[in-house]
Amino acid sequence: MAFDGIFVSALVAELSDKLIGGRIYKIYQPEVDEICLVVKNRTDEGNTTHRLVISADAGIPLIYLTEKVKENPMVAPNFCMLLRKHIGNGRITDICQHGFDRIVEISLEHLDDMGDLCTKKLIIEIMGKHSNIIFVDSDGMIVDSIKHISHMVSSVREVLPGRNYVYPVSGDKVNPLEVDVNYFMNHIMEKPEPVSKVLYTSMEGISPVAANELCHRAGIDGGASTSSLSMSDRESLYREFHRLKLDIEDRVYNNCIAYNGFEPKEFGAISLTSYGQYVQGDMPRSEAVGLKAFQSPSQVIEEYYSKKTVVNRIKQRSIDLRKIVSNAIDRTAKKYDLQLRQLKDTEKRDKYKVYGELLTTYGYNAKQGDKELVCENYYTGKEITIPLDSDLSPMDNSKKYFAKYNKLKRTYEALVELTVESKSELDYLMSVQNSLEIADSLDDLTQIKAELVESGYIRGKRDNGKGKKQEKSKPLHYISADGYHIFVGKNNYQNEELTFKVAAGDDMWFHAKNMPGSHVIVKTEGETELPDRTYEEAARLAAYYSAGKGSPKVEIDYTLRRNLKKPPKAKPGFVIYHTNYSMNIEPNIHGIKEYV
């Protein structure tokens, strides 16, 4: 996460434009470590209302503008009451960043009980677990803070009412806006450490993400030592740093989020070109990383954390399901392997049958006590040696071999059926595992859980259609470059519904060959032939949403929907077909438009 000095400077620029001169209309504290300020301001465009969220949560400290209204508790905490007393209806006179650190200062003026004009500051420290919201008076004395830090907690700096406010120690880091070419070359670049590390440990407000981005722009390996850089490399790095410094001074920011498919990976107030190129509109569910641009840093924060929360919640909620499916796969795979080994052992059954038949024919040549019989195998015309039990007569040896044959035959017939069942179960569980990989909503997980309950892998009440209707998750919907609608099932229930209820007989069906994957349906609207590009896009979708997603190429089967059949008592989503075409395709869906 790149909530660094660069991003804070972009936030300060946004807050300054919108809040300076505004009056604090309302103050409330929805969370223990969070306050919200409702600020009304008069601009050239008329009266505006802004909601400023300030959070000192140790996990996610934030400051941003939002249009969402957070719940106002019935009873206001002490810190909230104090702020209402002092700065309720106060005016914001300035918003600035301390140095280039992650500290935002909001200067306010208000009238005291005597009607005199007073000035105070709200200082927001965005510093991980040390984050805080501190209210100080005009003399720099702490009036109160949302977190009290005594000497028992920190021997470096106390944050308590009545103490003088002291800025956090930044160590020997320098403000990057004050770094010139001489200091950059003669001090920063002389440290014998990796280039990226030198940048973020030498200058305040420069995060590892920003440091790596500068190295990427300069064409330098951020993990290489500074001693390995040539003078041209150092000059190239400084040029990129200087461009960044000028952009910050001119308040030119490129707010963006770097996505890896549906999941947001990083955000920043500069273009994170090391993560890919900008993509228009909503990010596709593609493995390729892309950048999404935003007008303001507040929009970046809202989308990043809302999407991140959804992704984390899905991962958390799917842990139990993943474990159940994974354990079932391991158990079934071991059973299947054992059955295959036992099946292989039955391959010698025909040999025992031949021994028995030959002993019945040539057994008179053997004598009591012989350990073997050499005779002609009339099936092959070659000589064969048959081992004998010397304690048994030739006929008893023959009966013994026939008994072995019959036992192995019965075992073979039973195992043939069992291995088919085990392989079918294993394929089904692998398909459920693939469904969990592509699930992107809680509704998807609910549907997968219902499927596992129905299949008996999870204890629970099965849906008989009479209970409360659950919100159904919907299949993915794309539109090809030629305008054809393409649907992708995200689990076995959706696969079955798409194939046997949504698709018409003339629609095209795509699926990864011999591996778990989504059913992909192309609605042909009665046309007898699709453009080649649409075939390829549907095949790419089938490859991407399959277990072969990580392979360079995936073989895809495709056929008309009318050629598919579901065997009796088959698991959801299982189909058979005998007429199809195939193609090898790259599992990459970049550029395929998702239908909105």
Amino acid at 351: K
Q: What's the rounded Cα separation, in Å, for the pair 544 and 287?
A: 9
What distance in Å separates the CA atoms of residue 97 and residue 106, rounded to the nearest whole number? Answer: 9
pLDDT mean over 356-380: 89
**Domain extents in the chain:** 5-145, 176-303, 316-473, 476-594
Integer Cα distance of 317 and 384 in angstroms: 65
* Residues above pLDDT 90, as percent of the chain: 69
Q: What is the DSSP letter of 555?
A: E
pLDDT, one tens digit per residue, over 248-258 is: 999 999 999 99
Tell me which CATH homologous superfamily contains domain 5-145. Answer: ibrinogen binding protein from staphylococcus aureus domain (2.30.310.10)
* pLDDT tens-digit map of 279-303: 765 555 544 468 889 999 999 999 9
Q: What is the DSSP letter of 89?
A: T
The b/e string for 411-433 (b: 16+ C-beta within 10 A; e otherwise) is eeeebeeebeebeebbebbbbbb
pLDDT of residue 1: 53
Please answer whether residues 339 and 418 qualify as being in contact, where contact means their C-beta atoms are separated by less than 8 angstroms. Answer: yes
What is the C-alpha to C-alpha distance for residues 365 and 100, in angstroms, rounded to an integer?
103
| Contact criterion met (CB below 8 Å) for 342 and 411 | yes
Signed CA dihedral, 138, 143, 147, 153: sign only: positive
Contact 502, 494 (CB under 8 A): no
State the pLDDT confidence band at 526, using cuts at 50, 70 and 90. confident
Give burial (CB, 10 Å; 0-12/13-18/19+) of 390.
Answer: exposed
Distance CA 525, CA 391 (A): 78
Instruction: Work out the percent of the chain whose per-residue pLDDT is above 70.
Output: 96
Residue 97 has pLDDT above 50, yes or no: yes
Half-sphere exposure of 3 (CA within 13 A, CB side): 20
Q: Is the pLDDT of residue 467 over 50?
A: no
pLDDT at res. 286: 47
CB 328 within 8 A of CB 432: no
Q: Which residue in 473, 509, 489 sits closest to 582, CA to CA?
A: 509
Q: Using one digit for the tens of pLDDT, what is the confidence trace for 57-83?
A: 988 899 999 998 888 888 899 999 999
The architecture that CATH gives domain 176-303 is Orthogonal Bundle (1.10)
Crossing angle (nearest 10°) for helices 442-455 and 394-438: 160
CA distances from 255 to 5, 251, 266, 283 (A): 14, 12, 11, 15
Residues whose CB falls within 8 Å of the CB of residue 370, separated by 6 or more in sequence, listed in order: 388, 390
Q: Of 547, 555, 565, nearest to 585 (Cα)?
A: 555
| Ramachandran quadrant class, 307 (left: phi over 0; alpha: psi -120 to 50; beta: rest) | alpha
* pLDDT number for residue 440: 80
- Paired with 565 in beta bridges are 576
pLDDT of 468 reads 46
pTM above the 0.75 mark? Answer: no
CA–CA dist 430, 517 (Å, integer)? 9
Neighbours of 585 (CB within 10 A): 22
Q: What tens digit of pLDDT does each residue of 104-155 get?
A: 999 999 887 777 889 999 999 998 888 999 999 999 999 999 999 988 887 7
pLDDT tens figures, 157-176: 899 999 999 998 877 899 99
Cα–Cα distance list, 449 to 321, 323, 487 (Å): 7, 12, 22
Q: Span 560-584, mean pLDDT?
A: 92
Cβ–Cβ under 8 Å, residues 250 and 273: no
Q: What SS3 state is found at 523? A: coil
Give the length of the chain.
Answer: 596
Burial status of residue 188 (CB atoms within 10 A of its CB: 0-12, 13-18, 19 or more): buried
Task: Report the pLDDT value the prediction gives residue 471, as an integer from 0 to 100.
Answer: 54
Residue 441 has pLDDT above 50, yes or no: yes
CA distance 211 to 195: 8
